[in-house]
Each structure stands twice: as structure tokens, then as C-alpha cells.
Chain A
Amino acid sequence: MYLYVKARRGSPAPTYRSPWLLYPLFEDDLFGHDIVMDTWDSYFRPSSREEALFLIDRYGTRARIIAGGTDLILDLRSADAERPQAVVDITALPGVDRIVEEGDKIVIGAGATHGTIAVDPLVRRHGTSLSEASSVVGGPQVRNVATIGGNLAHALPAADGTTGLLVLETEVLVLGGDGGANGTWRPLHTLFAGAGTNTLDHNQFIGAIRFPKSGDNHGSAFDRIMRPQGVALPMLAAAAAISWDKASGTVDATAIAVGPAGPVPVRAVEAETFLSGKEPSETNLRETIRLVQDNSTFRTSAFRATREYRYEMVPVLLTRVIGRALARAGYGGFPRLGTEEDGDAED
């Protein structure tokens, strides 16, 4: 599990820049020579939101919020990282790892780990796409530590947790700033400023996320394509959430996310609009896929995936996630897309 996200200061080495690179901030990155070991001066583990907000206010830009830290610590250890004076660990805040029902919503504390989320029955029932995403983040040791809050704050365009949450009408509780210790709820997509950059002010942090409970006619799913070589992020990831109107036999509402398809995580709005209100026929699925392919900006990222491959993976992933989401919404008759090989006899 290693990703750099911070731009380096004055790198002494000649930087290699491939013309193929789209997001050099996190892909062409590797010129910090030496591991820095004394990564910060002070480590705080506040036991209340007020205390945490006081600390990040006091240290200002010299403070960093840490949750699981599985990405942040590696980032801070690289020689060119901005060295914080204080690190504020939010994982001891009361309720920060909770997963609860509140009214018609599921609320997950920012400090809930992927390991906990992946097996939580509430998330499995109401946020299956997140559950499936969390279950494939890193390996078990990382999932036992890495949090959903850290995953979102990292703001990568194809992070598993982010993609899984994008289709769930997720809101993020931002603490600090004008919202104070109670915080304000914001739509998830407003969190992302660019590859590896979020829109939070230095005196803010994520306290929780929430998404609506899923009715019996609603289902979601997440999937991704990885390569076995030295790249930590998926070649392409996708999620879908679908409400199924049994009476009319049509899709009621659709949410689709495919990434990376740009510097920030995005939803496939044209495709969503098209499929909503339609029958889930093979023709309509093909059109949905075409709309995603036509309206997404796939780029080649060196050593990770070519533009062409990503384009080719759209039907593969969408067939999987839309099919599973529909089945979970109560419709099992979703067509499988035919391929050229379907005529072959099975051996």
C-alpha cells in the first residue's frame, strides 16, 4: 500500500516525465531519496471534537489530521514532504468509529476502519457498494487500521471507498470552520478539489459520513480491475446503485460512477439520466455503456492502464455492477452482454 500524493519541494534529482502521464502528482513522484524518520514534533490524540479543533486551529497549517495513517505516514516519511509540527489523531474521539442507523440514514464515523465496514451488517444491507469496496482495500492488516475518513480525505480519483460511496448519495460531516464542533453536512462530491487534494480548510476535518437507508427495491455494487504489477490503484473501478420499480418494470433511479476518469471522482450523469425510467434491456444497457464511454475522459497513465484498455473495461465493469445492483434491488433478469466468443462450445 503505497501512494504518494504530495508534490515534492525542490527535488534534487532530474525528474523523468513521461508524455503519457496524466496525474504526475501521484504517479510520477518518486524522487524523495531518503526516508525521513522524525516525521513530526508532537502527536496528539484528543478525546473530544473541541480539543481536536482547538489543536488544529492552534497549529494551523503546521498541523495534519491523522486517522489510520497508512497513507499519510508514508507520505510524511518521504524527504520532500512538508513536515508538520503537530499530528492530530482523531481515532480516539468518542463515537468516531460508530456505524449506526439515525432516522432514515446510515451514519459511519470517519474513524471506522475498512475492516469493520466490510463486515458490518448495516453497511452490507444499505451500502453494499461501500461494503464491497472496503473489503478490497489493501490487505487485512491495512484494513484493520485504514479508515473511510482517511480514504475520502486523500481525494484520489479512483480510491475504492470513494467510488463505492459516490453512488450512495453520500454526505460528509465536515467539522470545524463555520460549522464548529457540530459540523455541517455536505454532499460528497464537494469534497474533491483535484487529484490528491480536498476542499477542506486547514482547520476542518471529516467527522462522519452518511447515506440513505436502502429500501427493498434498491441495490448497489462495486467492482474494479487491478493489475498484478506494482501499481496500487485500480486500472478502472466502477460502482452502481439502482432503484427498481417492480410495478412498471423499469429502473427508477440510477447512480453510476466510473474512475479514474478525470482528476476528481465523478458520476456518469448522462448514462444515469438515460437509464432512469427505462427497462433494463440489453439494448438499454448497451446504450448506457456507450454513454459512459463517450462522456468519460479516459487517459493513459504510465504503467497503470492505457486509455484504450479503460474504455474496453467500461462494459465489463458496468455489466457486473449494474447486474448485481439490479439483482439486489429485486430484479434478477438482467441480460448478460453477449461477446464474440459466446458461440463457442464449452469444453
Chain B
Amino acid sequence: MPRIEMTVNGVRYAREVPSHRSLADFLRRDLGLTGTKVACGEAECGACTVIVNGRSVDSCVYPVLKASGADVQTIEGVAGSYQDAQSSDELHPLQEAFAEYGATQCGFCTPGFVMQAKSLLDENANPNDGEIATALKDTLCRCTGYASIVGAVKAAAVKMRTGVLPPPELPHVVDPLAAVGRPLVRPDAVAKVTGSAIFADDLAFEGMLFGATLRSAHAHAKVLSIQTDAATAVPGVVTVLTHRDVPGNERHGLVEHDWPVFAGGVNPARYFGDPIALVVAESLETARNAIDLIDVKYDVLPAVTDPVEARKEYSPVLHPDRPTGNLLKHIAVRHGDVDDGFAKADVVVEQTYRTPRTEHAFMEPECSVAVPAGYDADHATLTIYVGSQIPYSDRSQVADSLAMAETDVRIRGTVMGGGFGGKEDIAAQIHAALAARATSRPVKILYDREESLRFHPKRHATQIRIKTGATREGRIVAVEAELYGDSGAYASLGEKVMTRATTHATGPYAVENAKIDCYAMYTNNAPCGAFRGFGVTQSAFAVESTMDLLAEKLGVDPVELRMKNAMRVGTVTATGQLLRESVGLVECLQKVTDDIRVWHEENAPNADSFWESHRVGGKRLGWGIAAGYKNTGLGGGAPDRAEAEVEVFADGRAAVRTSSAEMGQNLIGVLAACVAEELGLPFADVEVLVMDTDLTPDGGPTTASRQTFVSGNAARYAARDIAGRVREAVATRAGGDASCIVLRDGSVARGSDVLMSFAEAVTLLEEAGEPTRVRHVYEAPKTQPLGTGGDMHFAFSFAVHAALVSVDVETGEVAVEKVVAAHDVGRAVNPLSLTGQLEGGIVMGLGNALTEHYIEHDGIPWTRRLGQYKMPNITMMPEITNHIVEHPVTEGPYGAKGVGEISSIPISPAIASGVFNAVGVRCLALPLDQDALLLAMRAGSSVLESRWGDR
């Protein structure tokens, strides 16, 4: 092997390396500098950015031998380089600013951003927005929506020039409590900005093996035989596993157990991503090369890849054991009498819309590392390290397939590089566990981006027909809708997702009569499951586009129409739920409309309405507006509970533990704030542990915008329990009534008298024999199944988005210039991370409207690389104004309800509406295609049915 010498962060290294090694792999694997991340492997996303001889490069495609003799700087050396030169701070100003501005969420892209931003600041001490966008164009973030990153880069530049970091500007919120309501920097921020946060692929164990998965070559095929001898014979291959090696349940699944651990035997391959075999080898290279030597004989079956076709009788059936054929679920909403409603309608509009199958594109591809039971002192049980949204569900599915007791399996969560719903289903957890047990050695299975795209469940593609009737006065009297959802090869959460699409298909409006039918269908496409918005993103596009059609036909202002029909306290939803509190939709509409008014006063004072087209240079600009709502929690009668444990220590600190997932959304900061609030402790004195099935109680799935509500409440009540005991114990010692005693600022006080420190109070508790560790199971308010009336959900969040869209009249290029948004979130628990959630969700929704489409043809994906799946980059970021509306939920923690998904929901229809108002073409399918849009504009047509990705 060639020998290479290199200086990394000022340290001279000499190593022998394989000649094909990339610089990223050399840093990560040979030097153990795992701060540099690999997210795409194709120079597309910039996560692996390091600086070589003063120039930033994508280290994933940079041959290490090209860097022979070079001076390399990585995230691990950034702070040091600054300290020596200019200060004694522990962080580089960029690192400090990324933490303070909330510019790190999941943290997987952060090292690349810091390095690329550093290379910018090295050359330009005072960059403007345009220069920052140019420099960061190919450095991708899926969480933040980039606004906080731009803010952080500018703030760091200010600090480097003046020595002072300016604070971030945040939207107005109600007065904060001690911890709740304050923009506290997330607990893991420093680990993430320094590259020391450990993601699953950053782990390595002595004797660790590597797995690589062979996947189906067909969208639908019976597996006749699998010949593994040639692969097994390769030096370095330890074993090859197939369906014959699964001792327990051959199938897993979150709702239905329909997804084979390996296709083969009785289970055909039902999509192009189905696993056939797993090669386990001494090196990743050996494993990946050996899968080519596995000979699989298939009997190719006819594939059905259109959900409407899938419902027809002649269609091939994917799961013959199911009584309903390809119909995963028929979901029906019946409310009032639609015939009666349409009879009262003066106008009726009807239209059919299509939304794309989209990809989460979380920056961290899936990785599982399994360590066999008894391997070393740290691993008494079979342990799987993974970033998962539902650790306890992983545990039960692994145990079930390995025919083990659940308690003999431990899931240990690693720092997780984004999820957005895409890390709820099993990825490599079962395979890694099987391989570790078969080989008695640790096994890592890392998916590269191509495998991640190919394998994991997507957002459902839908076709939605909506017919809406209204009176002349603009009151909606009837909605009839039919939805088809393409759930792909396996159930995943398809039924739940499409149920949410259906129950939200009347929009956030009071509708007396509704008849909605949804068909969630199995097809031979990639499975579809949870994705931020959970079906509501899809139906909102159809509902809100129809509201615009209705406004046009009635000749009323679209805001007025929405205002007239908006849900308010007292409204009964289409599922029969009376809304008793926390319905901030009207205030959201008002706040957004006020901003549009101000824009017009400044930019177009003579406009007749807010929805006119404005000509600016070669572009036409138009505003579009849309509203949305989204349930918090599982709902529909499912028991919705979370358990958390709070422990206090005699050094005055506290810990909170729950299995709920931290995937970038800052649940850990929410939990810490709840506990700090109840115990009167400084935020920094609360330590958080999540996602460990041995050490943390079950917080349930991190989905449905539920964790702030349920785990937040569990932590709050557990802490409140301990606070009560502290008050009693202190009252017993100091005399007086416990109810007069307060916990604040790390001490225990009565009025203005500080009685003792919190640490002393904990000692008192211990002496009194009171528990210092308390668990609380929070049970959310009961909900009712669809069709039974009553409360289907215990809370809803509301939002209104307005988008100022420009269309280039010569090229059809579409850009979103501005977004004004208002979200009713109940209570802003942490305004900093809340704003980050809102900005990130808005930009993700912008991708849904303009760029993103996971394209498959006949079940074979065209989208195979991140370069073929463009999420919005920094140059597409609009200027965003956020308004926080806080209509508290009595039952929520400090009034809070869910915010994770709502920010992604109204933005797509708002953009489509803006395009219509700019150039008069209504786009009925997403994502928009500038080619087709321009041709439609030239042809003078007012409706565009095609979209990017149509054949």
C-alpha cells in the first residue's frame, strides 16, 4: 500500500493507505476524525467539506493521494486555528454563531457548513447575503431552511471584526417563564458545531464487520433461487444471510407485519428496494463487491405501479393473503348530507390534483451497528446503535424476527441526522442484529445515499379530486372528495397517513356536509409512509387550490372566503369534533394579511387587490395565500402515552430520560426546559438522555407532532412530582406550609427568603427516604376512532402562509421571493428552535412545490442519486417573516401543541396560488415545471396539468 504524509489541523500524519481511499474515508477511518461527514458521496451536498491547502473541497470524491503532502483543515481544527491566532475562546466565532443562532439542528451538515463558511470568511471578512449564497450554494441543509445559517455566518463575521456576537432576531412571543419561552441554545449545540457529536457511522468497535445488502433487480418477482457460494468464497467474507437465516418472524412492519426481512421463499420481491441477501465481511469494500457474486434467479411477475389501476380487478395482486386485494384501506368521512349541501350551493367547483412521491433526504443516511450479547463489558445484551424515531418499536421488531425476548435486545440511540418521518420503519436494524448474532462480532451496516433513496419509504404520491359547493355569500355548504394514495409495496404507516389526508380534506374550515373517500393502495412502487405533514401536505394542496377556484368563481377575495369559513372555537369538524379551545386560525389570517397590506403600501399602492400581477423587469410577481391545520398526536382512538423519568442529584443537578427521539427538532431542549421550569433549575443543570431502551422509559413514536405535548408533559409531571416532594421535605425542616415554598434559580425559597440550595434540598429528600427518581406516564386525552364522532384529536395547530412568487416571463423560471407566515403553536416553548422548525418546514414545503419528485417508472426509480433529487439549496431561500400566534391548549405543556409538521403544509398551495396570480396559469400537479409552465403561458392556457417528472 502506498504511504502518505499529510498535515491535518497542524499535526503531521504518516499512514499506509489503499490507493483508492478518499480523503473523507482517510480522515474518518484511518485518522478517526469523524467530525467530517459523508452524506451523498457525489460532491452534491458539501457535508464532507474540508480545506486542503487553503481551498475548500468535497472530501468524499477527493482521492487521498491527491492530498499527499497537503495541509488539511477539518472541523476538529477550526477552533484551534482561531484560538492560536486571535482568542482564547473554545469555539471559532462561526461555531459559536451556529450554536447561538440555532443554525445547527440535526447537526449532520454543520461541519461542512462551518468549513465552507470559514473558507468564505477567510477571503471576505464582511460578506453580504448574495456572497454567502454563492459560497454555500452546494452545501445542503434539510432542517434549517438556511435563514439561521445566513444569520450565523453574518454574525460570526461581525464577531471576527468587532469581538462581539450580535444576538439573533426572533419573532415576538408572550412573556417567558423561567426557562419556558426563552430562546435557549440547544443542549447538543456545542457537540454538533465541533464535530464531536457521535452519529451511528462514527462508531467503531474492535473486530467490527461490515454488511452490504443485495436488493431486488425487479419491481415484482418471485425469488426462485439464491446462490451465495461464490460470494461466501471471497476472502474476507464471513457469512451471507438470506431469508433462510431468519429464525423468528419473517416479516416486520409498524402496523401490518407485511414487509419481509428478506424477500425469498414465500415472500416475493415487491419493489426494487426489497432486500434479498446480506453479505457480512471484514471490510465494507469486500462486502459491497461480493454482493455482485450472488446469483439470484427470478420469476418476474407483472407489476402494478399506478394506484388507480391497482384497484381494478385485473390488476396483479401484491399480497394475495389479504382479503381486500391491493386495497390497503378504504377510508371514509361522512358528515351531514352532501346531496342536500350541493342542492343549497349557488356555485360548485371541481378539480383533480396530483402531488408527487417525495423523499425525506435526511442528511444522515441510515446506519445500524449491532454488537452481540456479551461481546464486552458494555454489551451484556444484543445492542443496536441506530438513529431511529421509534426505539421501542425497533426493539420489538428485532426481537420478533430474531425469536428473542424483547428485554434481550437493547436499542441505543445515536445522534440522529434528521428523520422527518423517514426513520420510523425498520432499515438495517434487524439485518445488523442477525449478522452480529450469526458472527458473534459487531456488524455495521451503512447505507450509501443511493441505497437510502432506493430503499426507504417516501411521502405518498396522491391523486385528489375535490368538488366544493358554496352559497353566493361564500359559505361552504358541501365538499365531496376522492383520494387515491400510492402506498407502495408495504403498509408502513400508509393507512394512518391517508387517514390524515382524508380527515383533513375539508381544510381548516367549517363544512356542514362532507363525503370523502380515500383508497390507500398497494403498488409495486417504493413503500410510502410517514413524512412531515403526514398526508395533510397532500390534501392541503388540493383543498387550498380549490378555495382559490371558489373565490374566483364567487368573485370574492380569497382571504375573505377563508375568513368567512375559518374554523373557530365552536366549529364542528367534518369528523364531528367540537373545537373547544386553541383555534388561532383567524388571527393567523389577520397577521399575514396585514403584512401583505404593508407590502402593497410600499410597493404597489395603486393595486386594486392583493392578488394582482406586478411586472418587475422581466418578471411577473404575484402573491398567493393558503391556510392549513394539522393534528397533534396519534388520535383516532389510539392510546397516546409517553413515559419520562426525572432524577435529581445531591450536586444540585437533574436528569430527564425518555426514549423519544431527538432528530434535530430539539426535543431535548424542550424536555430540559420543562424540567428546569418545574424544579427551578438553571437550564444547563438538566441533563437529557433519550432513545435507549434499557435506560429510558418508552416515550412512544416520535411522529405526529406529538413529543413536545406528550413527552414534554411526562417530563413536566415527573419533575412536578419531585418538586412537590422537595417542598414537603423543606417545609418539614424549615417549618410552614409546603404550598408557600417555591423552587427558583437553583434554590428553594419562601417569599424572598432563600431557605437552602436545591442541592441541599435533594440531600434532605434522600435523608427523608423520599425517591429522587420518579417516572411519570402521561396519558393524552382520549380520542375517538374515525366515524364515531367526538374528539378524533386532542389538539390542532393552525397556519397561514403567503408567498410572493416571481415568474420569469421569458424562461418560466419560478422563484419564491418572500414568505409571510403565521403559526398558532399554543405556546412557544423555545422561540429559537421553534423559529428554526418553521423556517425549515417552509423551505421543505417549497421543495415539495418546486423541485422535489422521486421519479419511478414501472417501479424502477429514475431518481437514484441525490443529484437527481434536488432539495432546495440556499439560493432558493425566500425572505421569511414569521408570526407566532399562541392560543394555548389547556392540557398542553404550558399551553403548547405540535409544531413539527404544520410549517410544511400551506406553503405548496400558497406558491401555486402565487404563480396563478403572477401569470394566470393554475398548476394542478406538483412539482411545477418551468418548461411546461412557459409553454402554457405562451399558449395562453390557464390550467397546467403536467408537472416535472411526468413521462
Contacts and interface: CB of A to CB of B under 8 A. Distances in A.
B129 to A, nearest CB: 16
A274 interface: no
A89 B63 contact: yes
Nearest to B813: A225
A38 B860 contact: no
B61 A74 contact: yes
A346 B809 CA distance: 14
Interface stretch (A183-191, A254-262, A277-285, A306-314): A306-314
A344 B20 contact: no
A84 B223 CA distance: 34
Interface of A: 1-2, 12-14, 16, 18, 20, 30, 33-43, 45, 66, 69-70, 73-74, 77, 79, 87, 89, 91, 115, 138-142, 144-145, 225, 227-232, 235, 302-303, 305-306, 308-309, 312-313, 316, 339, 341, 344-347
Given A141-B46, A144-B57, A347-B607, 11 more contacts: A36-B288, A43-B19, A69-B66, A77-B41, A139-B139, A140-B135, A141-B57, A142-B58, A229-B929, A309-B935, A346-B616
Contacts of B597: none
A230 B870 contact: yes
17 contacts: A1-B42, A2-B868, A18-B951, A34-B450, A34-B451, A36-B288, A38-B20, A43-B19, A70-B43, A77-B41, A89-B66, A145-B62, A228-B870, A230-B863, A302-B951, A347-B604, A347-B615
A142 B291 CA distance: 31
Given A16-B857, A69-B63, A347-B607, A232 B811 contact: no
Contacts of B137: 139-140
Contacts, number: 190
A16 B860 contact: yes
B406 interface: no
A139 B870 CA distance: 14
A135 to B, nearest CB: 9
Interface string B192-230: 000000000000000000001001011000000000000
B615 to A, nearest CB: 5
B19 A40 contact: yes
10 closest A-B pairs by CB? A139-B138, A2-B867, A230-B868, A30-B864, A347-B614, A43-B19, A309-B931, A144-B55, A37-B285, A43-B65
- Counting contact residues on chain B (CB < 8 A from A), the size range is 35 or more
Contacts of A142: 43, 58, 138
Interface string B48-60: 0100000111100
B18 interface: yes
Contacts of B853: 229-230
A309 B44 contact: no
Contact of B215 (A20, A33, A309, A312): A33
B747 to A, nearest CB: 51
A32 B284 CA distance: 18
B862 A30 contact: yes
A220 to B, nearest CB: 22
Contacts of B119: 140
Interface string B657-698: 000000000000000000000000000000000000000000
A321 B825 CA distance: 50
Contacts of B864: 30
Contacts of B951: 18, 20, 302
A91 B58 contact: no
B73 to A, nearest CB: 14
Given A139-B138, A141-B138, A312-B938, A73 B61 contact: yes
A38 B18 contact: yes
A309 B930 CA distance: 9
Chain B CB count within 10 A is highest, among A35, A36, A37, A70, for A37
Contact of B860 (A2, A13, A144, A344): A13
A185 to B, nearest CB: 28
B140 to A, nearest CB: 10
B231 interface: no
A57 to B, nearest CB: 20
Given A140-B137, A309-B935, A303 B58 contact: no
B448 interface: yes
A42 B811 CA distance: 47
Contacts of B930: 227-228
A51 B489 CA distance: 55
Contact of A74 (B43, B134, B948): B43
